[in-house]
Amino acid sequence: MCNDTTRDARPASGRFVLRIDPKLHASLRRSARAEKMSLNRYCAHTLAAPRAVLDPAAVAVLGRAASILGDALLGVVAFGSWARGESVAGSDLDILLIAGNRIAITRDLYRRWDALPPLKWDGRRVEPHFCNLPPPGAEVSGLWAEVSIDGAVLFDLRLAVSRRLARNRRRILEGRISARVAHGQPYWVREP
C-alpha cells in the first residue's frame, strides 16, 4: 500500500512519464509546433496556466466541438437570447462553433453533431451553428454583428475570435454597421 504522505515528503524531481492516448499525444505535438515550443515546454506551460472552473455543460459543449472539428476548432461562443439573459420557456441555446478556413462548413458537420446524444445546458437544447472565421477585411454579416454584441466566448484559440469580435464592435461604435428592425425582426446594415 502506498503512503501518500511519505511520498509527498520527498522533493519532486521534475521528471515523470505520462501515458496518454496516441491521438491526444499527436494533437499536443501539433499544438506545440504551432506555438513554436517543445512538447515538454508546451505541456508545462499549459498545465501551469490559470484555469477557470467551467460549468459541466460548457465542458460538454467544448468536448463535442473538439471531437467534431479537432485541431481546426478556433472558438466557441454562446449567443442569442440565452446569452442576453432573455430566454423564455422553450428557447434553445445557440452556440457558434468557429473552424479554421481549411474546414468546409457542410451539412455533414451538423449530422455528426446530431448523431450524438442531445446536449442540454440550463435545461435548454444546445443548437450548433458552424462557421469559419471571416478573413480580416471581410464585411461583417448579421450573425457576426449579433455575436459581437451579445456573444459569450467559451473558448478562443490564440484570441483570434475575440480580436475579430472587438473589430466588429469598433465598427458598430463608429456607426459603420447599425442595427435596424423591420416588422419586429432585427437586421444589420452597413452604413455608406
Q: Is the pLDDT of residue 53 over 70?
A: no
- Phi, psi (5° rounding) for residue 10? -75, 145
- What are the pLDDT digits (tens) for 83-122? 999 988 889 999 999 999 999 999 999 999 999 999 999 8
Q: Tell me the C-alpha distance between 176 and 169, whole Å.
A: 10
For the record, the C-alpha cell of 98 comes out as 468557429
Higher pLDDT, 142 or 12: 142
Given phi > 0 = left and psi -120 to 50 = alpha, else beta, which region is 170?
alpha
pTM attached to this predicted model: 0.72
d(CA 28, CA 74): 15
Q: Give the residue-averaged pLDDT of 52-75.
A: 89
